[in-house]
Amino acid sequence: MAREIHFNAFDMNCVGHQSPGLWAHPRDRSWQYKDLAYWTELATLLERGRFDALFIADVLGVYDVYHGSVETALRQSTQVPVNDPLQLVPAMALVTEHLGFGVTASTSFEHPYTFARRLSTLDHLTRGRAGWNIVTGYLESGARNIGLRGQTEHDDRYDVADEYLEVCYKLWEGSWADDAVVRDRDRRIFTDPGKVRPIGHKGRFYEVPGIHLCEPSPQRTPVLFQAGASSRGLTFASANAECVFVATPSKAVLKKSVAAIRAGVAAAGRDPRSVLVFNLQTVIVDETDAKAQAKHDEYRRYVSHEGALALASGWLGIDFSSYALDQPLRHIRTNAVQSSVEAFTSADPSRVWTVRELAEWIGIGGLGPLFVGGPQRVADQLEEWVADTDVDGFNLAYAVTHETFADIVDHLVPELQRRGVYKTAYRQGTLREKLFGGGARLQSPHPAGRYRTLDTLSAAVAPPRVANAG
């Protein structure tokens, strides 16, 4: 049986996202990001194309590493202005039945008690189609603007994230029993107090004594995405992630990354096939190779190299304005996105990247590879990458929206379906059920599973008491 290729659409509640400068293309609609109709039209388009999910990136902060200023980012619309991703989802869920929604939120900028409620609410409103892309943050500006002196060290952020997840698991999985809500009109009891417990968490970073504010949502814990592929990020993903998002520029690097992820998941006591790995990918496709190439050439005329370097400076933590355009890159330790640095410096040991080449590469689609061609050519390439790297699917960025996604739905998806490597219908149920075919909720050996019963919480914590109304 042919192996199914998974697609997520990769977008952000901003202008341009991964293709700096292409907001100026006359057919690009990303400037409409403030309008709900823009998002509901995108959601229905993606569901028509049987995409698994809309993966919504986010940053709390600005790309101000380049020239030490936010000016370039503002001028080139380099992921600023940017709006909140979670508020988009209910409207898109209302006009779709199956499409999942992976929203990015950082463990560095919001307390887990309030965040757990936001995600439970989202899972309720989408009827179980919510996912969380767990990030720890990488922009110094974001940390400073919430009152910190700067971003904490890369690996230390994951120590916080470990406990953050523990708190969320306790709230989502262990605070309320499945049958806590009884809605007994005759006895005037909506929730059985004996089946709701405070979590009694007291850790190194967080103290959360009370109960979760929400009754159990369809998935309890949303589907967990994780987008860090550094060594410390891999350890975190191996224990927690159900889907891992990487951004590698070559098959050689991707093959090593996927193998490392599978090995890490196995070492954590989980089935390595229980995790789906997605690589960042941009596809420019049309009816024929010639039409696709013409479209690519047209898009290239709108690329902003300055905007690309502003993005790269933020991602890699290196101010590229201090380098000549033809200066070679060298491996530099950074407190930002270490996996991005590692991917580029190890992609081809014989190749020395220059600053100019990096800007050209990022110009359409960001750090991931770009495929250009008719449906047959692109389908061949995608199948080849799946076969050669063991990747499960692709987070598809756009060059021009919604045009890039419409071309994929109209030209590429039918070809992949014809080959039997892409679904023709969705599974029923929650996002977790659609992706994995099992149940709606996480179970052991996933760490969330250890909190699935009330008895796993501290025995010293008594059930909440209800005052006698009589």
The answer as to whether 377 is a domain residue is yes
Residue 371's pLDDT is what?
98
Which residues in the chain show pLDDT less than 70?
1, 137-144, 146-154, 228-229, 330-350, 453-470
Determine the pLDDT at residue 464: 41
What is the reported pLDDT for 43? 98
Write down the pLDDT at residue 458: 45
DSSP for 17-76?
TTSTTGGGSTT--GGGTT-HHHHHHHHHHHHHTT-SEEEEE--SS----GGGSSHHHHHH
For residue 154, the domain's CATH number is 3.20.20.30
Q: How many domains does the chain have?
A: 1
The token pair that represents 400 in the structure block: 């021009």
Give a yes or no: residue 324 inside a domain.
no
Task: Count Cα neighbours of 146 within 13 Å in the Cβ-side half-sphere.
Answer: 16
* pLDDT for position 139: 65
Domain membership of residue 343 (yes or no) is no
Q: Does residue 320 fall inside a structural domain?
A: no
**CB of 138 closer than 8 Å to CB of 161:** no
Residue appearing with tokens 């002196």: 149
Per the domain annotation, does 14 fall within a domain?
yes
Residue 346 lies in a domain: no
pTM for this entry: 0.91
Reported as a single tens digit per residue, the pLDDT across 198-225 is 999 999 999 999 999 999 999 999 999 9
- Domain residue limits at 24: 6-304+367-456
> Is there a domain that residue 469 lies in?
no
Q: What are phi and psi of 59, to 5 degrees?
A: -135, 140
Q: Tell me which residue has tokens 């504010």.
A: 213
pLDDT of amino acid 465 = 40
Helix (H, G, I), strand (E, B) or coil at 11: strand
Quote the CA–CA distance of 352 and 365 in Å, as a whole number: 21
For residue 312, tell me if it sits in a domain: no
Give the pLDDT confidence score for residue 344 in this predicted structure.
57
